[in-house]
Amino acid sequence: MARFTLPRDLYHGKGALENLKSLKGKKAVIVVGGGAMKRNGFLQQAEDYLKAAGMETMIIDGVEPDPSVTTVMNGAQKMLEFEPDWIVAMGGGSPIDAAKAMWIKYEYPECTFEDMCKVFGIPELRKKAQFCAIPSTSGTATEVTAFSIITDYDKGIKYPIADFEITPDVAIVDPALAETMPQKLTAHTGMDAITHAVEAYVSTANCDYTDPLALHAIKMIQADLVKSYNGDMECRARMHNAQCLAGMAFSNALLGIVHSMAHKTGAAFEKYGAHIIHGAANAMYLPKVIAFNAKDETAAKRYGVIADEMGLGGATTEEKVKNLIAYLRKMNDDLNIPHCIKNYGADSYPTEQGFVPEEVFLEKLPEIAKNAIGDACTGSNPRQPSQEEMEKLLKCCYYDTEVDF
């Protein structure tokens, strides 16, 4: 028996933001990030539409990229004071994810962060508020997913909160919001999206409901991502839909160890200059994980189907898997994303010597591998890695060496 859950309503297409007018309630809190929504006028528009719907509004702004537990707790406190019946989260994955976690704390003030992290253990929400999500990046698809990723900076670890309770009630997928994305953000979020679709397709929880969404998203991203990166706004608009379809797939089919590794490396090297940005981490690790997972016969066949759908050629499954890996690596080149952590520069562009020193990586490796194995995304990966295999795989992701085990 399985469950397939999506938002009750999804508005899409240019101008879809206006559908905020149709929300029914008294008070709406709007949660946004660092200022992109304000600068580009979308925050004002959202406020105006909510006011037109007869609602009083309050803004929680300044949610940082890869939001912290502290940000979540502070935001929830503001919600407890304001008592909204709608939470409208607008921006990239970070403010929307933070708002989802604030929502839990708002409905259950006694709930701790540890409680939230119990997979599929969130109590029933919507006693106080409903949730509307409006993405401005084309990647995380958090507007349709049952996930929220919050970082514990004391531990340097990202924790996924996972429960269909936090799947939003309404998603507004308006491509106008994504038009202002700079190139680097377009590249990273786009590679996040294709990783979602590929991991969902080979996940052990894949099903007839998720497969078509994943495959269609992959083909759209293949056609549109690099063009969107190079400034084609029609392709940018299609990418906004494609990433959302990928989200519908992975929210229900779950993910795999590319995400486990990205979650556990993202903030691990914080002291050495920068995050490894989520989408860039996925882009670097995906080809390595495909090679690792392809030792599992079922997964290999499924990668073969992906390669066929993408028209990559190859006579045998092995050839198809190789072609898929080569294609994804070429996408990284086209998008100016490095192939490995060693070459990951502080600005996230490829460089000879990146910001993570080899000795630091090796020292932290056993711990990162252990944490990655324990990540919520590992359970649905088609091949379960041992500690030794995970360490070897992470080394391949550091040095860009071949996965032959």
Ligand X SMILES: NC(=O)c1ccc[n+]([C@@H]2O[C@H](COP(=O)([O-])OP(=O)(O)OC[C@H]3O[C@@H](n4cnc5c(N)ncnc54)[C@H](O)[C@@H]3O)[C@@H](O)[C@H]2O)c1
377 interface partner picked from Zn ion, ligand X, none, CB below 5 to 8 A per type = none
When the beta carbons of 101 and 310 are compared against ligand X, the nearer one is 101
Q: Which residues contact 350 (CB under 8 A, 6 or more apart)?
A: 336, 337, 338, 339, 343, 344
Nearest-approach distance from CB 231 to Zn ion, in angstroms: 24
Binding segment toward Zn ion, per CB under 5 A, in 18-26, 191-199, 317-325, 391-399 = 191-199
Nearest-approach distance from CB 140 to Zn ion, in angstroms: 6
As given in the structure block, the two tokens for residue 356 are 């993570």
Rounded CA separation 124/121 (Å): 9
Binding segment toward Zn ion, per CB under 5 A, in 57-65, 176-184, 189-197, 314-322 = 189-197
When the beta carbons of 97 and 192 are compared against Zn ion, the nearer one is 192
CB atoms within 10 A of CB 123: 12
Q: Using CB atoms, what's the residue nearest to Zn ion?
A: 192
Nearest-approach distance from CB 382 to ligand X, in angstroms: 20
Binding segment toward Zn ion, per CB under 5 A, in 188-196, 244-252, 293-301, 337-345 = 188-196
Nearest-approach distance from CB 256 to ligand X, in angstroms: 13
Angle (nearest 5°) at CA 331 between 360 and 136: 85
Backbone phi, psi, residue 155, to 5°: -95, -15
Nearest-approach distance from CB 317 to ligand X, in angstroms: 29
199 interface partner picked from ligand X, Zn ion, none, CB below 5 to 8 A per type = none
Nearest-approach distance from CB 315 to ligand X, in angstroms: 35
Q: Using CB atoms, what's the residue nearest to ligand X?
A: 92
When the beta carbons of 136 and 323 are compared against ligand X, the nearer one is 136
When the beta carbons of 75 and 93 are compared against Zn ion, the nearer one is 93
When the beta carbons of 325 and 377 are compared against ligand X, the nearer one is 377
When the beta carbons of 252 and 323 are compared against Zn ion, the nearer one is 252
136 interface partner picked from Zn ion, ligand X, none, CB below 5 to 8 A per type = ligand X
Nearest-approach distance from CB 192 to Zn ion, in angstroms: 4
- Residues interacting with ligand X, by CB under 6 A? 33-34, 36, 65-66, 91-94, 97, 136-137, 139-140, 142, 145, 147-149, 158, 177-178, 180-181, 185, 189, 192, 278-279
As given in the structure block, the two tokens for residue 250 are 């992975």
When the beta carbons of 143 and 192 are compared against Zn ion, the nearer one is 192
224 interface partner picked from Zn ion, ligand X, none, CB below 5 to 8 A per type = none
Rounded CA separation 80/82 (Å): 6
142 interface partner picked from ligand X, Zn ion, none, CB below 5 to 8 A per type = ligand X
Angle (nearest 5°) at CA 148 between 240 and 264: 100
Nearest-approach distance from CB 370 to Zn ion, in angstroms: 21
When the beta carbons of 185 and 312 are compared against ligand X, the nearer one is 185
Nearest-approach distance from CB 2 to ligand X, in angstroms: 19
192 binds Zn ion (CB under 5 A): yes
Rounded CA separation 239/221 (Å): 6
267 interface partner picked from Zn ion, ligand X, none, CB below 5 to 8 A per type = none
When the beta carbons of 158 and 339 are compared against ligand X, the nearer one is 158
When the beta carbons of 66 and 163 are compared against ligand X, the nearer one is 66
Q: Which positions lie near Zn ion, rule CB under 5 A?
A: 192
